[in-house]
Structure formats: structure tokens, C-alpha cells
Amino acid sequence: MDPGSNPDAPNPNQDPAPSAADAAPQPSDAGIEAIARRVQESLSLSGVSRHRFWETQPVGQFRDLGDTSLPEGPIEAPTPLSDVRRDPYNLPAQYEWTTCDIDDDHTCTEVYNLLTQNYVEDDENMFRFNYSMEFLRWALRPPGYFKSWHIGVRAKASQKLVAFITGVPARIRVRDDVVKWRRSTFLCVHKKLRSKRLAPVMIKEVTRRVHLENIWQASYTAGVVIPTPISTCRYWHRSLNPKKLIDVGFSRLGARMTMSRTVKLYKLPESTVTKGFRKMELRDVPAVTRLLKEYLRQFAVAPDFDQDDVEHWLLPLENVVDSYLVESPETHEITDFCSFYTLPSSILNNPNYSLLKAAYSYYNVSTKTPLQQLMNDALIVAKKNDYDVFNALDVMQNESFLKELKFGPGDGHLHYYLYNYRIRKALHPSELGLVLL
């Protein structure tokens, strides 16, 4: 997978959770994580394989691991803006650059079609990520975004969109240092053009355009190991509709389990249990911002959200992002918060189902309500809204509720990277307060 891709697996190859040793459904081997494993094997650090492109970039290098003499912080100083290249990098002769206007329905549809047909698919052709147009517009148009960072490649002859890469602006705090960053996402090249080595040119081009805005750092994730992860996390998966997941091959029955016992194992209450638990509203933005900023201070790497960011990223948007909070019935204080975003997958070649509806844990803050109880309420509302599975990374404090709430671990990993910023020692997932789409 390319840097900036979203390698979370819609078909996890997971072991049963220890709390349900023989009860958890067993997934099939087909899955996106299998792709990640194969690519990781091809990029093995042992042997002759080299990361030719990344060894030329200002990123942490494998050869520097364990070198405590290297300072944390920017690897290269900013270049004077007058020295930043003004002309785009050269593409192969039959291709040309295009700026993709996500506000335009025709262009947004082109991007949607490219991603749904070429971005991430399991190796058995059973599932394919299906980013909605509403999701793409949400993900690519945060406060202060630049249209020029939504970059496409077209075939000159047909004008077909054949590749796409984006950046969106963000402020990220690394320890005590708040820096303007580019968050890289959606690096996608048409399947038939993977041998053209378009990806390195696209990365250089988006970096050039970002530098023109005097921004010199970036963050991204990938399902493969390249120089050099600042943290390696794991996705966990909680069945909400186990019968459907088993029917479509997402998972399989556990040892000595029947379908009825499996359905019973994952059954959730009909209603949430926390008093004052409700959907977030526009009037809650200031309180949620304060709650989130205070919570995120404890992590080594985290976003620096202001009210505009919270309104954009966390105010509920149908079929894109859901956010809930706890308001004290007595004091009306906002004490707790949870959220998840929606990323479905198309189910391919199945006569009964066409879509797998997946929720992904986003940002959660617990001050008065136990986090396990808060997240159980999140599972309940996701189930009531017809989600089939709820996924969560083991970042922040998520590890404290995963096993208890019957999440099962996936066997693929998500690697976090920083561009032009060195962290001397890799972070444990619990030190990471950042969720990248």
C-alpha cells in the first residue's frame, strides 16, 4: 500500500479475544491485511531490498535507529520560499497534472470512482473500500484547506483520471512543539499503471505545493514498513452483525460455536445506559473543544484542535461522522465524549449483500463516565444505526476497553510516519493521540 492509504482491514485475520477463547468468530484468510503482509514481505529489511525513494527524503532512517545523539524536531530547515520550485514535476509524456475541484460533482464522482475501483481491495476480491462523496468532501475540506493540494493525474488522450493524491492542513503537537503540518491521504494510482512509478513523482509534487504555503512537515499512515515509523498500531474489530459478517466471508464461526450462540455472544442492550448521553449539537462545540484539548495534552503526538476544527471534524454529519457526549442532568456540564466515522466497503460477488457498514472509533474522552461504559454506549448506537462492525485502533486509552467489549485483534498493523520531523524513540500506541483518516 502507498503512504497515505487507509490500510484498515475490512476482513481481519484475527484470533479470538482472550475473554472469549472459543467463542469469537474466526475470520477467513482473505483480507486487505493479507495484501499488507505480502507487501511488507517484499519490503523486508533483511536482504537486498532498498527504499530508494524514502532514503532521499527527510524522514527518520533505519540506519539511525538507536542513535541518541540525533536531536528531535525538524530534520531539514525550511527553504526560502523564493527557492521553492515554481513549476510542476515532469510526468511521463502521456499524462498531465490536474487540480481536482472536490466541490464540483463531476470531478468528485471521478475521484470517487477511481478510489472505489483502485484504492484498497482484499486479495480474494470480496471487499473494496467505498468512500462516499460526502466523506471525501468532509475529509478534504477542513478549515483553511487548499484546492491546489487536491492533485490528480489524467491521461492526455482520454482525459481519464488515473491517479490522485491529496494533502490537507493541520496543526499537530509533538511533545511541546506545535507545528503546521500537511496530512497526506488518498495516494491512489490506477491498477494498470502501478509500474509507471507515478507515486514518487506525485509525492514530490504535493510536497512542492505544500512548501509554497510555507509548510514543511507532514504526517501519514501506511500498512507497510518504510523509513521509519514513529509508532505501529493495530486495528481491533467488534462484531455488531455477526451473522452477516459470517455470511459474507468477513469472519467465520469460532471453534465449537453455533450461529445462535455467536449472535447471543455479541448481543447488545437495546438502549444506552449512561444518563445524559446524547448526540453532539452545534452549541456543544466550545465545551467539546475544551474537553478534547485537555485530554489530548497527555499524549506525545496529538492534533492541536480549535473550535473551527472541532466543528468540522466532530459535529455529526449523516453517514460520515457521529459524535455523542454526556451532559450532567444536574449541572449541564459536558463531561464525556465519543465519536466514530463511517467507512463502508462494497461486498463483491455476493447475491444477498452489497455493502458492509463499518464504524471507526475516532476521538473519545472520559472524565466522569468509565471509558468502557462510554464505548459500550457507542456500540449500542452504532448497532441501532445498522452498522455491521465497529473498528478501533489501540491508540490513546483504547486498549483499556477492547478485550472487555469483545473486540478481536486484527493481525495487520497501521504504521504512523512523520515527514521532516524526527522522533528519537518510537512511541507506544498509548502515547499517540492522533487518528488519521
Q: Where in the chain is the domain with CATH 3.40.630.30?
A: 73-221
pTM of this structure: 0.87
Give pLDDT, residue 47: 35
The DSSP annotation for 125-170 comes to S-EEE---HHHHHHHH--TT--GGGEEEEEETTT--EEEEEEEEEE
Strand partners of residue 178: 173
pLDDT score for 120: 65
What's the mean pLDDT in 242-266? Answer: 93
**Cα–Cα–Cα angle for 3, 403, 317, nearest 5°?**
55
Strand intervals (E) in 281-342: 301-303, 321-327, 334-342
pLDDT at 30: 35
The fraction of the chain above a pLDDT of 70, given in percent, is 87
Taking 60 as the threshold, does the pLDDT of residue 91 lie above it?
yes
CA distance 353 to 55: 44
Averaged pLDDT, 107-131: 84
Cite the active site residues: 437
Kindly report the CATH number that applies to the domain delimited by 18-30+233-415+427-431.
Answer: 3.40.630.170
Q: Is residue 36 within 8 Å of 1, Cβ to Cβ?
A: yes
pLDDT score recorded for residue 222: 86
Average pLDDT over residues 173-194: 92
Give CATH 3.40.630.170 domain extents, the chain. Answer: 18-30+233-415+427-431
> What's the CATH code, domain 73-221?
3.40.630.30
